[in-house]
């Protein structure tokens, strides 16, 4: 979307530079990314950035106006965790980069989450891209590494000793996002601990390190209820729903409260109309909508072309939404003259005493497939996978 930078990037790109990018990420994180990283970043105009900001500020204000009682309705009865917080510590908003009926490039809200994502990896990805392509440096974020990681450490570790803070995940070494865990360990000085390795004594939680039991006082939570419920014979020593002597960062209840559950409640020109399945109006046309389960993760369960027969099979209709389809714009030209589409996620942190969240970084997913997800791309294609964004100044 910024021809000057796109043209120069495509002219300078070589497969060898892409290999060098992956090598830099391995050097920083200890392993290669287990998901596909795109060969290219995207370059976005100041005008598009202003549109993103307008939409995000409106969405944040609307969420702040929602009562706790309204948001708490999203929490399933069997998933309510004690010790909830007034607001989430992490907050992300996903937009498709789309075209409207007039051909104007606009953001369109896809979903939002109060769940941490690749905060460390995205910072290192942007750093690495600039190291390989120095001409991009004028567009790089003005927030340096020291400031960035100090903000994250203040939020996640707080006043605790880092050894009493853990990044919690299920079988973390097997997760596709594990490079982010290892980067977080390096930058914040905390340990990544598998859910199955946590021990409980009374109301306290512990993990073992070098033969010693270390109390866990704060949990940087990367565990998703929706995922652990699918793991057969998972043995753990504690239940999330117990009243435990631990601080959750971010609290598990917010995974449900800030989710597709609130999409039908939001209104803005860049928010496509959504309905709960059991409220879908007869005057709307089903072929104009995508069917999504409320609490799915990474695109699972999404039906791009639902039929009346599909809807008839769903019993828990209150747990699904229909969201108006949007047209992703093929804007990002590769060296072969083909074009990719993209989705951009804005990564916020929200300190407990702050009125509004703070934007930290961006995550981009590029695709040439119908689903904008790194798992739904064609093999041997380029300009696809996880990426980053640089904005015009």
CATH of the domain at 241: 3.40.50
Is 188 contained in some domain? yes
pLDDT less than 70: residues of the chain: 296-300, 371-379
* 133 plus 4 within the same structural domain: yes
Distance, CA of 258 to CA of 36 (rounded, Å): 27
Radius of gyration of the chain, Cα coordinates, nearest whole angstrom: 21
- The pLDDT of residue 372 is 59
Regarding whether 207 and 343 lie in a shared domain, the answer is no
**108 and 167 inside one domain:** no
Same domain, 319 and 337: no
> Which letter does DSSP use for residue 328 in this model?
B
Kindly state whether residue 301 falls inside one of the protein's structural domains: yes
Question: What pLDDT was estimated at residue 5?
Answer: 97
- Is 69 inside a domain boundary? yes
pLDDT, residue 393, reads 86
CA atoms within 13 A on the CB side of 292: 24
- For residues 13 and 128, state if they share a domain: yes
What is the helix (H) or strand (E) element at residue 139, kind and residue range? none
Give a yes or no: residue 150 inside a domain.
no
Q: Is 189 left (phi over 0), alpha (psi -120 to 50) or beta?
A: left
Q: Name, in order, each residue with C-beta under 8 angstroms of 42's C-beta and a sequence gap of 6 or more.
A: 1, 97, 332, 342, 344, 364, 366, 387, 388, 389, 390
Both 125 and 267 in one domain: the answer is yes
Same domain, yes or no: 364 and 392: yes
Are residues 233 and 176 part of one domain?
A: yes
Handedness of CA 360, 366, 372, 373 (dihedral sign): negative
For residue 374, what pLDDT is reported?
45
User: Do 343 and 316 lie in a common domain?
Assistant: no
Q: Which domain holds residue 296?
A: 281-325
Indicate if 127 and 234 belong to the same structural domain: no
CB 266 within 8 A of CB 62: yes
Averaged pLDDT score across all residues of the chain: 93
Residues whose CB is less than 8 angstroms from the CB of residue 220 and which lie 6 or more positions away in sequence, other chains included: 116, 156, 165, 166, 167, 168, 184, 190, 249
130 in any annotated domain: yes
Question: What does DSSP say about strands 165-169 and 218-221: parallel, antiparallel, or unpaired?
Answer: parallel
In terms of domains, do 10 and 99 share one? yes
Count of the separate structural domains present in the chain: 3
Contact 331, 1 (CB under 8 A): yes
Token pair 């753990």 is found at: 236
One domain, residues 17 and 70: yes
Q: Which two tokens stand for residue 386?
A: 């996880």
pTM of the model: 0.93
In a domain, 28, yes or no: yes
Taking CB atoms within 8 Å and a gap of at least 24, the contacts of 154-162 are: 154/351, 155/89, 155/249, 155/349, 155/351, 156/89, 156/188, 156/190, 156/218, 156/220, 156/249, 157/188, 157/189, 157/190, 157/218, 158/218, 158/247, 160/217, 160/218, 162/188, 162/189, 162/190
As a whole number of angstroms, the distance between CA 251 and CA 186 comes to: 23
Report helix, strand or coil for 216: strand
Instruction: Evaluate whether residue 254 is within a structural domain.
Output: no
The pLDDT of residue 346 is 98
Query: Is residue 255 a part of any domain in this protein?
Result: no
């Amino acid at each position: 979307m910024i021809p000057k930078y796109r043209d120069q990037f495509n002219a300078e790109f070589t497969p060898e530079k892409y290999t060098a990018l992956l090598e830099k990420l391995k050097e920083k994180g200890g392993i290669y990314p287990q998901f596909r990283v795109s060969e290219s970043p995207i370059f976005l105009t100041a005008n598009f950035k202003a549109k993103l900001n307008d939409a995000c500020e409106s969405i944040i204000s609307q969420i702040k106006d929602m009562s706790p009682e309204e948001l708490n309705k999203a929490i399933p009865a069997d998933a309510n965790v004690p010790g909830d917080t007034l607001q989430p510590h992490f907050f992300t908003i996903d937009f498709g980069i789309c075209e409207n009926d007039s051909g104007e490039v606009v953001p369109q809200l896809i979903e939002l989450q109060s769940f941490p994502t690749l905060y460390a990896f995205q910072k290192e990805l942007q750093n690495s891209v600039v190291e390989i392509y120095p001409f991009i440096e004028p567009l790089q974020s003005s927030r340096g590494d020291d400031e960035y990681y100090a903000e994250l450490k203040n939020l996640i570790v707080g006043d605790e000793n880092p050894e009493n803070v853990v990044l919690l995940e299920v079988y973390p070494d097997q997760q596709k996002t594990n490079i982010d865990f290892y980067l977080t360990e390096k930058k914040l000085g905390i340990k990544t601990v598998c859910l199955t390795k946590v021990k409980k004594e009374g109301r306290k939680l512990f993990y073992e390190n070098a033969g010693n039991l270390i109390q866990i006082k704060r949990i940087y939570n990367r565990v998703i209820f929706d995922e652990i419920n699918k793991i057969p014979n998972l043995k753990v020593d504690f239940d999330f729903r117990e009243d435990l002597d631990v601080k959750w960062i971010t609290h598990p209840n917010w995974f449900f409260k800030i989710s597709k559950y609130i999409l039908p409640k939001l209104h803005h020109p860049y928010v496509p109309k959504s309905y709960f399945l059991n409220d879908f109006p007869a005057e709307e046309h089903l072929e104009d909508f995508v069917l999504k389960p409320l609490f799915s993760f990474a695109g699972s369960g999404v039906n791009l072309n639902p039929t009346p027969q599909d809807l008839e099979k769903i019993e828990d209709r209150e747990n699904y939404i229909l969201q108006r389809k949007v047209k992703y714009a093929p804007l990002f030209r590769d060296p072969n003259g083909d074009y990719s589409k993209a989705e951009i996620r804005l990564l916020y942190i929200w300190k407990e005493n702050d009125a509004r969240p703070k934007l930290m970084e961006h995550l981009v997913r590029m695709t040439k497939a119908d689903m904008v997800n790194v798992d739904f791309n064609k093999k041997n294609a380029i300009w696809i996978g996880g990426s980053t964004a640089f904005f015009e100044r």
